[in-house]
Structure 1
Amino acid sequence: HDLMENASAECAAEGMNAEDFLFILYTSGSTGKPKGVVHSTAGYLLWTALTHKYVFDIHDDDVFFCTADVGWVTGHSYVIYGPLCNGATSIMFEGTPTFPDAGRFWKIAEKFGVTAFYTAPTAIRALIRLGDEWPAKYDLSALRVLGTVGEPINPEAWIWYYKHVGRGRCPIVDTWWQTETGGHLITPLPGAHTLKPGSASRPFFGVEPVVLRDDGSECGPNEGGKLCIKRPWPGIMRTTWGDHGRFVNTYFTTFPNLYFTGDGCRVDQDGDYWLLGRVDDVVNVSGHRIGTAEVESALVSHPKVAEAAVAPMPHDIKGQALYAFVTLKEGVEGSEELKRELAAHVRKEIGAIAAPDKIQFAPALPKTRSGKIMRRILRKIAGNETSQIGDTTTLADPAVVEALIQGRQ
């Protein structure tokens, strides 16, 4: 208090160079070690301001409501920097969409006359389960634009959002981007693009995507491949904090001279882009990217665990959830209590978002003769696609697979 009494009410702005670092934001990678994504001052601010203005059609009289946590990149770009650069009236939110009841978002939207609303498919799916009557209770007539972020939105959720929140008159901007990109790269523009439930539509200004096969050739219409970007854009990350080699290896070596996003994609006959999720061992839980290796490391750090492997499983609310296959140390008996203990351990080591929804104790994991875990098989078992497991002849012990199928949770 004494220091505050003597402090000036004025805080002069500090002049910065365009390429000075603005912030470092950590995001999960497939190797498990989180990456410190570095964004620059001028490029990032320009990109967030530009995308915020045109993707949400922002004008002086708009009220913008992005529900994201400020600690997530969406909170950085579209709660803080983008709206502030544009002088937009915007709402910051802390809490959950279902507390004290499922009208939380809509009560805020009605109270403040929200015109543009931006949230995650996870939140939409949670609200769908609680009934159509909640958005119907509120006056949402001020809404002009709806947006989604964090993961591809399934068409059923898109239609519910369009019908019950937008009342059939608000365009939905299904935005695709990453922590690394700083802001939107593929997105509809309201009023300018034809909307297709589940499609991210078209590239933003100046963005040149390309969808490639593993051999580097370009995919044909409706053929799934790996999404890359041909040219840089102002908001691209500048490096990985403390490890520039990792930056180069992660994003620019899979396909030389192209930015590799790590996402699968297809382009339909009309030129619209459909995102297919991650192509590596990163799971998208409620719009948050979680490296499976990171969760596996946390599980193995428990004194009763010998080995662990984590795979994604479909989840009605989160989009994807974590399914853990755990081999216990000799003499340790599996139990429901131990499952709860392991989930709590991961929660403590990493955070609540990384706690596995399902834990299956396994006598062994499916491995090749060289000792590599066959994650493709684990993904099929976790996703309850056991009829599509395919060839197991390269496994050291194919009988392990049948044991895992029998023990599936």
Structure 2
Amino acid sequence: MGFVWHPPKDLVEGSNVKGFMEAEGLSDYKELVKKSTSDIEWWWSRAVEWLNVEWFEQYDKIYDTSKGVEWTEWFVNGKINVVHNTLDRHRSEKRNKLAFIWQGEDGEVRKYTYSELYREVNRLANAFKSFGVGKGDVVAMYLPMFPETVITLFAAMKIGAIAMPIFSGYSSTAIATRLIDSEARVAVTADASYRRGKAVPLKSELDKALDGTKVEKVVVVNRANTDVEMVEERDIYWDEIRESRRCETVAVESNEPALLLYTSGTTGKPKGVVISHVGALLQSSKEIFFNLDLKPEDVFLWITDIGWMMGPWQIIGTQNLGGTHVLFEGAPDYPQSDRIWSMIEDFEITQLGGSATVYRLLKKYGDEAIGDHDLSTLKITGNTGEPIDHDTWMWLLKSVGQEQCPIINLSGGTEIFGCFLLPSPVMPLKPVTLGYPGLGMDVDVFDDDGNSVRQQIGYLVCKKPAPSMTRGFWKDPERYLRTYWNRWKGVWYHGDWAYVDKDGFWFLFGRADDVIKVAGKRMGPAEIETIVNSHPAVQESACVGIPHELKGEVVWVFVTLKPGHEPGEGLEREITEMIVKEFGKPFKPERIIFAPDLPRTRSGKIMRRLIKAVVADGELGDTSSLENPDSLDKIKDVLRR
């Protein structure tokens, strides 16, 4: 597949990464990637300088693997704090600069300067201290994307506590699992949040989860003026906190935890991912500075939730660089389908990111929704969460970016608080490519025997450590080792299905455990889904392999349709013929099932393993990350019919 986008000269010459390459005497981006991944000590020593990281106490050594590569220590003996870098140091020079802009679903807009945010963070940090919270304690955040969410995130980390975001769509069972496992001391929530015009209760759901936990204090944001039960001595409204707005930031050792992020596994128990102060700060800042080209005057929006790692990633990375970011309450297409395009115009957004599922949602309204909105401030768009299909990628390039904006299609994971793969604005692009390895990320593609391969699909691995890799799983180090380090000694096994073409461009085809094997031939589901999604009637699809006595597995394709289209034998035949034409008769689908919805996480990732489990009437495992759990019942109904 050939190049469809080439970077304009002015974009290249003015980019952050071009400035770095010139200063380091490097001729092109590919050379920089090679040097950064072969010599990680050089790379990270330069990165902390270019990202202007400030230390309370200087480190002695970049990294130390004496305890094993799995437990690499970074910036040894250095003392640091995320909040000093993202907030404290900006309060004087940038005191009137906007740190972030928030838009409520009802149209309310609130703006916080760095100075205003600094005072509010200190006030809440002092309140946490008065509750008995200290270094190493966990503060739970059962909140959507509110201004108070940013304040809570920083207030916890400022005093050396650990911030634990919880997706605001979770039920009490999922909340309780995280509160009990983490032993959180304090929880911050709201009475309710608006989504699609309805006040969705939060406090009452949290209350149901508190039995058996160690939560001693609950702080409640009054968002919707709904009646909630307030337990005396335990519960306090946000606006009733009257603490000082002066609070010293605690210096912590570089590798001490800043974030506890729970991510779903195939078994019942979610994994508690532990991200250090230096890892959270460096990985997000590195990607936003070098790959998304954030300048101090830029305005950054990633369509996300605080419960998805991209939420804290945006907040920490943008603010470390002294930029401005945007958060919003509710859905991206409500109250009007053009909400995102209006926000770009109103707030002069320069970088827009989201997931392929969100983009497909916006694309279904057509270019008419974009209409006369002025999107000229956009200079970069981004995608993550799952592989993006060709049609949606091209729509993002042409209709949204007006062929002026590179698509930074990135992929990594919660476990590394960032990316293994992502392009740069200074390189040409092929459709749906993830470009090259991230700077400092020594990734490779292995075959079944652990050999490095090119121009064939294999397993995505990382051969060297990085600062943002999880510091194990919370209270479960053995599971961490089993999950990432047991397949090949000293190599991080990520579980994605990857491919590098003859030009060195990387592509992903979904999770390795989603791979379909038909009569000995392997196929990534994203390859088939890209073809299916190109049909004008198809909204999105999920391709899964179902056990078969003769062939090993056969292909089943689950399809949701765009408004105005109805399922039928004719449409089924057209989709089947498209697949056979592209991949041959061995991959002719056994069944095509038209479903009203597909199970997906809040980040937009379609959960194929759950679809397979429904078909097989098997164990679903952890479903707490689903945004739409009722989709599984809908699929069951369709299969019964």
TM above 0.5: yes
Paired residue for 1:204? 438
Equivalent AA in structure 1 for residue 482 of structure 2: N
1:137 deviation in Å?
2.5
Q: Does 1:240 align with 2:473?
A: yes
The aligned length equals: 320
1:187-245 superposed Cα distances (whole Å, 9 cap, x missing partner): 1111x211111110101212111111111122231x11111001011211111001000
Query: TM-score, normalized by length of structure 2?
Result: 0.47
Paired residue for 1:353? 628
Q: Is residue 454–residue 502 contact of structure 2 (8 Å, CA) maintained in 1?
A: no
Distance, in Å, in 2 between the alignment partners of 1:3 and 1:118 is 33
1:155 deviation in Å?
1.0
Unaligned runs of 5+ in 1: 285-291, 293-310, 329-342, 362-381, 383-406
Equivalent AA in structure 2 for residue 127 of structure 1: L
1:165-204 superposed Cα distances (whole Å, 9 cap, x missing partner): 11111111001110011112211111x2111111101012
Please provide the CA RMSD for this pair: 2.9
Paired residue for 2:127? none
Alignment of 1:310-389 (within 5 A): 313=558, 320=606, 322-323=610-611, 324-325=614-615, 351-357=626-632, 358-360=634-636
Distance 1:350 1:139, change over 3 A: closer
Query: TM-score, normalized by length of structure 1?
Result: 0.72
Equivalent AA in structure 2 for residue 154 of structure 1: D
The secondary structure found in structure 1 opposite 2:273 is strand
Unaligned runs of 5+ in 2: 1-236, 516-524, 527-543, 545-555, 562-597, 599-603
Tell me which moved more, 133-142 or 312-321. Answer: 312-321
Distance, in Å, in 1 between the alignment partners of 2:509 and 2:403 is 26
1:16-39 superposed Cα distances (whole Å, 9 cap, x missing partner): 111111111111122332100111
Q: Does 1:22 align with 2:308?
A: no
1:299-333 superposed Cα distances (whole Å, 9 cap, x missing partner): xxxxxxxxxxxx994557866355313759xxxxx
Distance 1:350 1:66, change over 3 A: closer
Q: Is residue 460–residue 497 contact of structure 2 (8 Å, CA) maintained in 1?
A: yes
Aligned residue among 155, 159, 163 for 2:390: 155
Equivalent AA in structure 2 for residue 274 of structure 1: F
Aligned residue among 170, 179, 187 for 2:405: 170
Distance, in Å, in 2 between the alignment partners of 1:263 and 1:109 is 33
Distance, in Å, in 2 between the alignment partners of 1:219 and 1:266 is 9
Distance, in Å, in 2 between the alignment partners of 1:83 and 1:314 is 37
Distance, in Å, in 1 between the alignment partners of 2:238 and 2:345 is 42
Q: Does 1:217 align with 2:479?
A: no
Q: Is residue 484–residue 493 contact of structure 2 (8 Å, CA) maintained in 1?
A: yes
Paired residue for 1:193? 427
Distance 1:102 1:215, change over 3 A: same
Distance, in Å, in 2 between the alignment partners of 1:65 and 1:229 is 29
Equivalent AA in structure 1 for residue 415 of structure 2: E
Paired residue for 1:397? none
Q: Is residue 113–residue 142 contact of structure 1 (8 Å, CA) maintained in 2?
A: yes
The secondary structure found in structure 2 opposite 1:210 is strand
Distance, in Å, in 1 between the alignment partners of 2:319 and 2:285 is 8
Distance, in Å, in 2 between the alignment partners of 1:241 and 1:174 is 30
1:254 deviation in Å?
1.3
Equivalent AA in structure 2 for residue 186 of structure 1: L
> Identity across aligned pairs (percent)?
33
Equivalent AA in structure 2 for residue 25 of structure 1: L
Q: Is residue 385–residue 605 contact of structure 2 (8 Å, CA) maintained in 1?
A: no
The secondary structure found in structure 2 opposite 1:271 is coil
Q: Is residue 210–residue 227 contact of structure 1 (8 Å, CA) maintained in 2?
A: yes
1:357-379 superposed Cα distances (whole Å, 9 cap, x missing partner): 44448xxxxxxxxxxxxxxxxxx
1:139 deviation in Å?
0.4
Distance 1:255 1:26, change over 3 A: same
Q: Is residue 257–residue 275 contact of structure 2 (8 Å, CA) maintained in 1?
A: yes
Paired residue for 2:71? none
Equivalent AA in structure 1 for residue 300 of structure 2: F
The secondary structure found in structure 1 opposite 2:370 is helix
Paired residue for 2:300? 64
Aligned residue among 258, 277, 280 for 1:41: 277
1:355 deviation in Å?
3.7
The secondary structure found in structure 1 opposite 2:499 is strand
The secondary structure found in structure 2 opposite 1:275 is strand
Equivalent AA in structure 2 for residue 244 of structure 1: P
Paired residue for 1:280? 513
1:161 deviation in Å?
0.8
Alignment of 1:134-145 (within 5 A): 134-145=369-380
